[in-house]
Amino acid sequence: MLASDPDWVLHVDEAILVVNKPPGLPSLPDGYDASAPHLKSLLEREFGPVWIVHRLDRQTSGVIVLARSAAAHRHLNTQFEQRQVSKSYHALVTGNPSWEEKTVRLPLRPNGDRRHRTIVDADNGKPAVTELKVKQHYYGAKVCLVEAIPHTGRTHQIRAHLAAIGHPLVADALYGGGKALLCSQILPPTSFTTDIPLLERAALHANSLEFVHPTRSVRLSFSAPYPVDLARVLHLLGE
């Protein structure tokens, strides 16, 4: 991950840093291993101090913005808190939805069970809204590519909502079956000799992010290309 790689650093200026986070990299130090690499530490080696504005799960890839000053951090935080930021995710989900568009309005409560998952809780949960749109059906493969637009910012919102309506993320160990996506699930038997796993992590990608620049007062939009594992799977599905 180098600053010169256009698939890694999407934008940098005096106030912000926008990057395409790879899957498997936490945004902040891991509570179990504080010395393990994380997004903030890697970026600070090249760009100096950065402030985390929002987070992506360890397994989630895609676009994320960081602040390069305390003032920029405050400005961006306000936008996120006031829901002035537009976010779009691409999710490879299990099953083939009967709908093309759907808005999920299920209240969520974080850390709601023994596995510390976010759960649907009609009595004690906070309002949560996720807009879903099917991008591509893959008939016969039992998976589907969905765009998810969260209108609230609850912990694990997209993962919890998708699981609640019966279409958890592919290979999501926490909210789905957790089993890797295998060759046999998307390819004809004659096209492979060993049934190897093609995707072994929750298939969620932060595809785009739109917000107002903290010092220039212009609205910016960024999108991030798929990481290698997800791009490969979608290519095979498309064939």
Question: Is residue 189 included in any domain, yes or no?
Answer: yes
Q: How many residues does the chain have?
A: 239
Beta carbons within 8 Å of 209's beta carbon, 6+ residues apart? 18, 63, 64, 65, 85, 86, 87, 88, 221, 222, 223
User: How much is the pLDDT for 130?
Assistant: 98
74 within some domain: yes
Interatomic CA distance for residues 197 and 117, integer angstroms: 25
3-state secondary structure of 162: helix
pLDDT at 194: 87
Residue 51 in any domain: the answer is yes
- pLDDT tens per residue across span 122-170: 999 999 999 999 999 997 788 999 999 999 999 999 999 999 999 999 9
Q: Which of 160, 163, 131, 133 is nearest to 145 (CA)?
A: 133
Which residue is associated with the tokens 């936008």? 79
Phi then psi for residue 209, to 5 deg, are: -145, 135
Q: How far apart are CA 215 and CA 74, in angstroms?
A: 11
- Count of structural domains within the chain: 1
With respect to residue 92, please indicate whether it lies within any of the assigned structural domains.
Answer: yes
**CA 32 remoteness from chain centre:** 22
204 lies in some domain:
yes
pLDDT digits (tens, 9 = 90+) for 105-122: 999 999 999 999 999 999
- Alpha-carbon distance of 195 to 198, in angstroms, equals 9
User: Are 3 and 50 in contact, with CB atoms under 8 Å apart?
Assistant: no
Q: Please classify residue 164 by burial: count the beta carbons closer than 10 Å to its beta carbon, then call 0-12 exposed, 13-18 middle and 19+ buried.
A: middle
Half-sphere exposure of 149 (CA within 13 A, CB side): 15
Known catalytic membership, residue 113: no
Instruction: Please report the pLDDT score of residue 60 as a whole number.
Output: 97
- Catalytic residue of the set 30, 57, 172, 229: 57
pLDDT attached to residue 2: 47
Give per-residue pLDDT as tens, 24-42: 999 877 766 666 789 999 9
Residue 2 covered by a domain:
no
Inside any domain, residue 198: yes
Q: What is the CATH number of the domain that holds 176?
A: 3.30.2350.10
Contact predicate 214/198, CB 8 Å = no
Predicted pLDDT at 184:
87
Cα separation, 132 vs 148, in Å, equals: 5
**Residue 3 domain-assigned (yes or no):** no
Residue 217 is encoded by which pair of tokens? 């007062």
Cα–Cα distances in Å, from 64 out to 95, 140, 151?
Answer: 28, 34, 17
Q: Which domain holds residue 196?
A: 9-238
- Distance between CA 111 and CA 105 in Å, rounded? 19
Query: What string of DSSP letters covers 1-55?
Result: --TT-TTTEEEE-SSEEEEEEPTT--SS--SS-TTS--HHHHHHHHH---EE-S-
Tokens of residue 118, six digits: 């976010």
| Three-class DSSP category at 165 | coil
